[in-house]
Structure 1
Amino acid sequence: MKKIILGIACLLGLAIITALTLLNTPSTPPISDLAKQTPVKQLSLSSQLIPDTDLPPDGTRSLFDHLMAQNNGLPYPFSQLIQLLKQQHPEGLEPISLLIPHGRSLLKGQADDAHPRIVVAADFDGHNAPAGLGLTTRGQLFLGFVENANEIEVLSYNEKAGRFEFQLVQNYCEGCVPRIVYARRAICTTCHQGGTPIFSQRPWNETNGQQSTAAAIAVARKSQQAYQSVALQQPLAHSERFDQLTDIGNFYQVTQRLWLDGCGADGSQCRRQMLRLALQYADNAGGFDANSTDAQTLKQLQAKHFPKDGIPVPESDLLNRDPIGDKQGIKGWLRSLVTRDIQFGEGAKDNEDLSAFEKLPPLRKELDPLTLRTPKQVLTAQDIDGVYGLASFFSQADITTLLQANGGHLAPLLVKISQLPDTVFAAKPFSRVAMMQVLLAKNRDYCCLNTTEMSPPVVSGVPPLVIKHKPELQAFADYCFACHRGNPAQRLNFMAGATEEDVLANIQAKKEIRDALDWARYEGSDKASKLMPPRDSIQYHKLKQADEKTRQQMRDTVPSLFDF
């Protein structure tokens, strides 16, 4: 009997050891090592025309930058940023928003059930007008906000450059001076391995689309009240739609490769044919024949230049992870023996604190977004997926506009495409706006291309201004920098400058500041709306509570027009 008991005990011990070994399998290499790795230098056409630099190519900016510049800067709090996206929607609908209390981002230690991470995806295409093209955002704008980290992660498309931009809004908190910077791509692409959005697969247990996750958030927050205007319980359809939008965004990059590498440097006829088919598909997807003569022609044209190893479609879908379910049952108990819970507030407090992130307990390798993922598929010259990807750039309003310009029929438009000069199809990133202007034979305004009135982009890691030698700047830092330093709109960025001397010179050159701070003179007059800071801002209420001498000192810093 003792031998039987001893045998059972040995088997049980062996099972536990085996389970612990499996559960404690090392994860992927540290993120700091992955970020330092020099990527294999690609000689592809697309890599030459769409650089992998931290800052956007000259003369281009992200969709997020354009929206902030055209709406007078960054709203606060985050609920107001969500409201801004709602106002941009033609029907005034909310963007797709979810709560993720226990996620996999760099800032996962700064979120929990009481302070969940908020992820937002814009989901609309604007209407076209006779003089302009509507804003398209589907799959092109994603936000991730962690309140305890005072940081927003931004992933938004750059229409002119043909790539996604990784950005951070740092120091995003009440009374603070936020900084919009471009992140280090080498860090971002350790998880976003295609340079594109990523999200988990069905059934999205990490999100508040699942009732158990939503219930845990409500218990922790001791309320059913929305968090930053996001309902604590969202329909699972929201999680599904968010997933779909990341898939759309992921294929934009693939489409650029198919447009460039799939057709080659001198493949103008290939790109022309791809566009013809894309518009046929966009006009009538149900009646599109993927085996038509035109489709076969595209395959033949692609075969001349298509990369021998094919064009991979990056895997943007992460395996589903169930933080609540993983703690339940015998498996959860075994896992708890080797993997501790993350305590709220530990780990990285911003996206540059990699060493702190690496101290957190690792995820299982198959769940870790740092794990190198195999492509969803590898496309060859016999695939015409570029047609479908190209079609996704056009909105339904675009197709309607093109048909209206051609008597309501597609055939005349296809004839026009055949007659366009080869220069239209020269090797350059595909731009929906540029192509629409060519197809309509007229320039139509678009909100998010012109950068001449924007302030220069800033890369992450550049230290903020430290005031040591010019104490008169401190009041401006407290009450004005939030809107007028680092603002994407050049006209509002008049407190920019790398040094204290530069900033002071820019302030002194802006004579209007004296009047904008002369509350006593202009309050109640027709110029009251010009007074600064804006009456609905935190900075205004703080300056109002300050000593009157503070405002006078700020005015005295700016020379008057009649100084002698």
Structure 2
Amino acid sequence: MAFRPFWTASPSPRIAGRANRAWRRRPSARASTLLLCLAVTAGAVRAETVFERLYPTEQGSLALPYPFARLVEDVKARTGAEIQLGFVPLGRSLQRYAADPNYFTSPRILLAVIGNGAQGPALRDRLFMGYQPAARAIEIIAFDETEGRFHFTQIDDYGPQGRPVAAELSEDVCATCHQSRAPIFSAPPWDETNANPRIVAVLPANIEGLAIHQDFDGLDQFARSVTRANRLLIAKQLKSVVDQSGSDFAKAFPQGLAVIEPKIPNRDPLGLIASGMAPDKTLETSGAFAPETPRPFLQLWKPGLTAAEDAARLIEEAELP
């Protein structure tokens, strides 16, 4: 059965090929690592995402608390939001080589807002970050309520004496991995994260003031937030139909609505190292384990007798304004 995805097009072969080459290229210097998902409009970041509402930019620059632990606490203080962190020393993002060869002293720090506070903008499932201390850079995925989509932004020069600069990323390039142009995450049991006690055992006790501990339930909440973020895209489409009746939904979306699977298969880098593979070699993935490999569509809504009720559930879950 054919159905309509929220984002109708995958990257063109030309774009996908360029992204794949970038993904496989090992950077020669720390500064080049995060520019693989190229910033194309430095100084022109939109001011409409939930992140930009919290931290407005002026000619591309912005003031952010440092270290990252202070930024986390600042978001909580401003909004009351509930935040979940994760730590990934040997992951699959474009930041994966940044700490080479000290992968375990500078793991990538992931952040998801998993619950709203009483004040401030609604952030639940709308704000995600990936921070690599060695690269002094934060990748941000933030939702734009007006446009009903996520924007991909990079903060460069984030450090103790840095002058953070924001640049919007080429989403066509990012979509090679973020195929619904939304957050992605690995499937459980998340062996490349601090949900794995063997990962916790080889990481420092804390990174930039953030304690690292085994937190399987926390990573489960992170994964659930990623799933809901992708469903949010569909809910926003459905709410755009003024008269929320089954027939109107079917007329607007006759083939249904879908996203591309946001989960990539679980992998265990420490298991690969134990088998004799060098740590940097574990970062090269292929087949289903590679985020750029095309993933299947997940149909989240379809016309039918329960179309209106199904749409209402999706809209309620998304907590749309």
In structure 1, distance between residues paired with 2:90 and 2:283: 13
Residue 318 of structure 1 corresponds to: 264
Residue 372 of structure 1 corresponds to: 294
1:103 maps onto 2:87 in alignment = no
2:56 aligned to 35, 52, 69, which one? 69
**Are the structure 2 counterparts of residues 378 and 250 from structure 1 closer, same or farther at C-alpha, using a change threshold of 3 Å?**
closer
In structure 2, distance between residues paired with 1:60 and 1:176: 22
Contact kept? 2:260, 2:296, Cα under 8 Å: yes
Residue 136 of structure 2 corresponds to: 150
Q: Residue 255 of structure 1: SS of its match in structure 2?
A: helix
Contact kept? 1:60, 1:160, Cα under 8 Å: no
Residue 342 of structure 1 corresponds to: 280
Q: Give the number of equivalent residue pairs.
A: 280
Gaps of at least 5 residues in structure 2 are: 1-12, 21-39
Q: Residue 95 of structure 1: SS of its match in structure 2?
A: strand
Residue 302 of structure 1 corresponds to: 249
Residue 257 of structure 1 corresponds to: 237
Residue 184 of structure 1 corresponds to: 170
Residue 79 of structure 1 corresponds to: 69
Gaps of at least 5 residues in structure 1 are: 1-28, 37-52, 129-133, 219-223, 274-297, 344-359, 395-430, 433-564
In structure 2, distance between residues paired with 1:108 and 1:59: 27
**Are the structure 2 counterparts of residues 67 and 305 from structure 1 closer, same or farther at C-alpha, using a change threshold of 3 Å?**
closer
In structure 2, distance between residues paired with 1:303 and 1:174: 53
In structure 1, distance between residues paired with 2:45 and 2:98: 35
Residue 248 of structure 1 corresponds to: 228
Contact kept? 1:82, 1:94, Cα under 8 Å: no
* Residue 89 (structure 1) shift: 4.5
Q: Residue 387 of structure 1: SS of its match in structure 2?
A: helix
Query: How large is the Cα RMSD of the aligned pairs?
Result: 3.0
Structure showing greater radius of gyration is 1
Q: Residue 327 of structure 1: SS of its match in structure 2?
A: helix
In structure 2, distance between residues paired with 1:137 and 1:96: 12
**Are the structure 2 counterparts of residues 60 and 172 from structure 1 closer, same or farther at C-alpha, using a change threshold of 3 Å?**
closer
> What is the identity, as a one-letter code, of the residue corresponding to 1:139?
D
Residue 33 of structure 1 corresponds to: 17
In structure 2, distance between residues paired with 1:244 and 1:361: 25
Q: Residue 214 of structure 1: SS of its match in structure 2?
A: helix
Instruction: From the two aligned structures, give the one with the greater helix fraction.
Output: 1
Calculate the TM-score normalised by the size of structure 1. 0.46
Contact kept? 2:87, 2:110, Cα under 8 Å: yes
In structure 1, distance between residues paired with 2:300 and 2:82: 36
**Are the structure 2 counterparts of residues 387 and 101 from structure 1 closer, same or farther at C-alpha, using a change threshold of 3 Å?**
same
* Residue 304 (structure 1) shift: 2.7
**Are the structure 2 counterparts of residues 243 and 86 from structure 1 closer, same or farther at C-alpha, using a change threshold of 3 Å?**
same
In structure 1, distance between residues paired with 2:233 and 2:161: 38
**Are the structure 2 counterparts of residues 212 and 88 from structure 1 closer, same or farther at C-alpha, using a change threshold of 3 Å?**
same
Contact kept? 1:170, 1:180, Cα under 8 Å: yes
Residue 303 of structure 2 corresponds to: 381
In structure 2, distance between residues paired with 1:245 and 1:179: 27
Residue 489 of structure 1 corresponds to: none
In structure 1, distance between residues paired with 2:248 and 2:82: 43
> What is the identity, as a one-letter code, of the residue corresponding to 1:316?
P
Contact kept? 1:62, 1:156, Cα under 8 Å: yes
In structure 1, distance between residues paired with 2:45 and 2:154: 19
**Are the structure 2 counterparts of residues 161 and 75 from structure 1 closer, same or farther at C-alpha, using a change threshold of 3 Å?**
same
In structure 2, distance between residues paired with 1:58 and 1:239: 30
2:115 aligned to 124, 149, 152, which one? 124
In structure 2, distance between residues paired with 1:58 and 1:169: 10
Note the alpha carbon deviations across 1:170-217, whole angstroms, 9 max, x for none.
111232222111111112111111111111111111111221110011
Residue 29 of structure 2 corresponds to: none
**Are the structure 2 counterparts of residues 89 and 170 from structure 1 closer, same or farther at C-alpha, using a change threshold of 3 Å?**
same
Contact kept? 2:63, 2:164, Cα under 8 Å: no
Moved over 6 A (4+): none
Contact kept? 1:127, 1:135, Cα under 8 Å: no
Contact kept? 1:101, 1:113, Cα under 8 Å: yes
In structure 2, distance between residues paired with 1:58 and 1:304: 35
**Are the structure 2 counterparts of residues 326 and 386 from structure 1 closer, same or farther at C-alpha, using a change threshold of 3 Å?**
farther
Q: How does 1:62-461 map to 2 (within 5 A)?
A: 62-69=49-56, 73-90=63-80, 95-111=83-99, 112-127=103-118, 134-218=120-204, 224=205, 226-260=206-240, 263=241, 268-269=242-243, 273=244, 298-308=245-255, 310-328=256-274, 332=275, 336=277, 341-342=279-280, 362-377=284-299, 379-382=301-304, 383-384=307-308, 385-394=310-319, 432=321
